Amino acid sequence: MSSEKPFGLVAKQKIQKGMTITREKIIPMEFDESRYDIVEVNVEIKDLDPVFHDYKIVNLSDLHLGQWLTAEYLEGVIDIVNRQEPDMVALTGDYVSYILDDVAEDLERCLSMIEVKDASLAVLGNHDHWNGADEIRQILKNAGIIDVSNDVYSISRDGEKEVANLHIAGVDSMKLNKEDIDAVMLKIPEHGPAIMLAHEPDFADIAATTGRFALQISGHSHGGQFIIPGLNTTILRSACSRKYPVGEYQVGDMVQYTSKGLGTNVFWLRINCAPEITIFKLKSPEVEEKDENNESMNINQTLSVNHSKKMFPTREDVDNFLNINDISEFIESKRKRIPVYVENKTDNIKENINEIPKYIENKTEEIKNNLKFN
């Protein structure tokens, strides 16, 4: 399946080349940090050793380098990443759109600029397979990034009593049927909390079913590139990102987070959906509990209140918004209008046909007159 090219690939490549030629005329080319959403997500993870408390993972997804995202923009993004001083960087696929050759050197050079304490880990997305999975994997390797597609990478630190582990698993593209959760489950150690990297967010249903992962980090959807104000969700949902298109969800005992990504696909447009750099901070329940106890014992403590907006809808909110009965009624109302529309169009066509002889007669007279004049 991975060797299959998407429908109309050649046409899409031509469109991308054409748009790239005009890009500098229609898009400001200077990098502007204010255009990006830097989103912080705190995730409390059961059995996370205190030595990993506040462990920082920065996620970049859906670069689509060569379309709206230029090498200059990617350099600016990586500068933001490096300023966060991350313990780990997670890259969740789709590094290019439809053309790799034009941007391969820039992609490798920019990814090589990432500075990280432990490791930079990556999985592949559907576009990476369409452009050549082997070539993308080699670029990642040359840039010092570890591909964990259908694999596991473990991070170890010295705890108070013993060595503590945090396992980062990944799966290959679900859309192309390249994910292999069985291989992952065979490789992952029995003890120690685990995190899943998956390009397509709807893989969360499978990951959560294993009961092994506390968090899944994904992209793929681009947040739909259009977010409905107030609801903070999108109606533009592609395959494998229909259930969890943007933001944070609780899937069983696992947190699923879907980034809005950095680049765009097909059209260079985002409405109420800024490109995103996501910073995950892992929290140890043991440390959190100690901090709460210390605060309650401190008589002179200053009360600090976190006023956080509800940024993302619950599943119930989304289901209500996408109520199937409402959709059915909408479709039915449109269907009823079709006969009237066809009838009106037919009448217009008949009127135009009736005008044709008169039009020909007038044109004939006009031509005769011109001939006489000449």
Tens of pLDDT, residue by residue over 253-262, are 999 999 999 9
Output phi, psi for 228, to 5 deg.
Answer: -75, 120
**What is d(CA 331, CA 12) in angstroms, rounded to the nearest whole number?**
30
> What element of type H or E holds 121?
strand 119-123
Sign of CA dihedral 56, 206, 198, 228: negative
The neighbour count for residue 109, using CB atoms within 10 Å, is 15
pLDDT tens digits, 138-197: 999 999 999 999 999 999 999 888 899 999 999 999 999 999 999 999 999 999 999 999
Q: How confident is the model at residue 358 (pLDDT cuts 50, 70, 90)?
A: confident
In what helix (H) or strand (E) does residue 19 lie, and over which residues does it extend? helix 9-26
The 10s digit of each residue's pLDDT in 220-238 is 999 999 999 888 899 889 8
With tokens 């990478």, the residue in question is 153
CA atoms within 13 Å, Cβ hemisphere of 259:
35
Concatenating the DSSP letter of every residue in 272-312 gives: S---EEEEEEEE-HHHHHHHHHHHHH-TTPPP--------S
Query: pTM of the full predicted structure?
Result: 0.76
Cα angle: 150, vertex 153, 155; to 5 degrees: 160
Tell me how far apart the alpha carbons of residues 374 and 119 are, in angstroms, rounded to a whole number: 84
Chain center to CA of 107: 18
- The reported pLDDT for the residue numbered 307 is 31
CA distances to 42, 133, 214, 243, 255 from 46, in Å: 13, 35, 8, 25, 12
Distance, in Å, from the CA atom of 147 to the CA atom of 136, rounded to the nearest integer, reads 10
Over the stretch 13-65, which tens digit does the pLDDT of each residue have?
766 766 666 666 666 567 889 989 999 999 999 999 999 999 999 999 999 99
Kindly indicate the confidence band of residue 318, based on its pLDDT and cuts at 50, 70 and 90. Answer: very low
135 vs 346 pLDDT, higher one = 135
- Round the average pLDDT of the chain to a whole number and report it: 84
Residue 331 pLDDT: 59
Task: Note the pLDDT of residue 163.
Answer: 94
Q: Indicate if the pLDDT at residue 370 is higher than 70.
A: no
For residue 12, what pLDDT band results from cuts at 50, 70 and 90? confident
Give the span between the Cα atoms of 29 and 34, in whole angstroms.
Answer: 14
Strands 276-283 and 55-60: antiparallel
What angle is formed at CA 99 by the lines to CA 267 and CA 106, rounded to 5 degrees? 105
Would you give the end-to-end CA distance of the chain in angstroms? 68
**Residue 92 confidence (pLDDT) above 50:** yes
Count other Cβ atoms within 10 Å, centred on residue 164. Answer: 21
DSSP states of 177-216: T---HHHHHHHS-SSS-EEEEESSGGGHHHHHHHT--SEE
Q: Are 67 and 21 in contact (CB under 8 A)?
A: no
pLDDT recorded at residue 161: 81
pLDDT tens digits for 260-307? 999 987 777 888 999 999 999 999 999 988 877 776 555 444 333 333
